[in-house]
Structure 1
Amino acid sequence: MPVPSPSVRPREAKLFRNNRSQAIRIPVEFELPGDRVLIYRDGDKLIIEPVKTPANIIELLNAWRQEPPLGPDDQFPDIEDSHVRPEDVF
């Protein structure tokens, strides 16, 4: 039977400004993997979760399947349609 890891006690962290954004210094024992996170509010709390990078094509396709489909009000940006010249192909 695996030994449960001891829970990390809450610690105070430093808030600071980075240009126009507020940032937080995360203590090493709370370090998250990767270089991107999801952040959302739950009442007075901010929840920060690491973004899980798909390990293979099956995980990627499953992640896409869980995203909400586009709705009738979703809009795509206008794209300038430029003509392709033969020299652009090679």
Structure 2
Amino acid sequence: MRTVSIFKNGNNRAIRLPRDLDFEGVSELEIVREGNCIILRPVRPSWSSFAMMGRADPEFMAERGDVVSDKGRSEQ
């Protein structure tokens, strides 16, 4: 376990994450308090954000082959 200092940043309190604990490629973190613990985790898209995405191109699945083959199946 490591310790880090808490410092004042304007009206907030802040910590610096050591480089080896960095979240690579992440620009936002979700912060949650559970009892005495504060948990940081990358923000993940929610199902509600799915509705805000653009529609797929009509040709999106035009050239897709069969996913499941009938080879080896028996007729019953």
- Structure 2, unaligned runs of 5 or more: 50-76
Q: CA RMSD in A?
A: 2.2
Q: Cα deviations across residues 33-68 of structure 1 (Å, max 9, x unaligned)? A: 31211101100000111113x5xxxxxxx6217xxx
Task: Number of aligned residue pairs: give it.
Answer: 49
* Alpha-carbon separation, structure 2, partners of 1:27 and 1:14: 11
More helix by share: 1
Structure 1 residue ranges (4+ consecutive) displaced by more than 6 angstroms after TM superposition: none
| Residue aligning to 1:28 | 19
Is 1:64 equivalent to 2:65 in the alignment? no
Rg larger in structure: 2
- Structure 1, unaligned runs of 5 or more: 1-9, 55-61, 66-90
TM-score (norm 2): 0.54
Higher relative contact order structure (alpha carbons within 8 Å, sequence separation ≥ 6): 2
TM-score (norm 1): 0.47
